[in-house]
Amino acid sequence: MSATTCCVMIVLGIPTMLLYQNLISDICPLQEIGGVPEYDSCFYWMIFVLVLTGILVNGPYSLITTAVSAELGQHPSLAGSKKALATVTAIIDGTGSLGTTGVLIAGPLSSKGHWEYVIYMLITADICALLFLTRLVFNEIKRKNKS
């Protein structure tokens, strides 16, 4: 049930991104002393939330490019062809690489210190991923209920 796992991680990733944004801007902004960050509780909370966000955002990418693509490659219509599996995996991985265009978008969005727009862009990407995974999740749930 890799698609379901991806969706759960994506759903959990959205509030952690919002929490990180609120930590930075409102709840617990970083303090500096002479240009060096102060290592207080805020600093360590931000590290924790940022690592958690990274796991919840990058985890689905890793699952999609490996497990989901392997499942799609074993679809009966591909008749177990290794060449077809490699093609499907390459297409999914290549499509996932389009995510690097987010870096090109993040620059203009973050101009003048508006990093919250980058967070909103990432949340929008997560919502799109949820929509694209919906069919696979329903199929996984149907298979699970049949067995």
Q: How confident is the model at residue 96 (pLDDT cuts 50, 70, 90)?
A: low
List pLDDT tens digits, range 10-44. 999 999 999 888 887 777 777 778 878 778 878 88
Which DSSP string corresponds to the chain?
A: -HHHHHHHHHHHHHHHHHHHHHIIIIIS---EETTEE--SHHHHHHHHHHHHHHHHHHHHHHHIIIIIHHHHHT-GGGTT-HHHHHHHHHHHHHHHHGGGHHHHHHHHHTGGG-THHHHHHHHHHHHHHHHHHHHHHHHHHHHHHH-
Structural domains in the chain (count)? 1
Domain enclosing residue 142, as ranges: 2-146
Whole-structure pTM value: 0.71
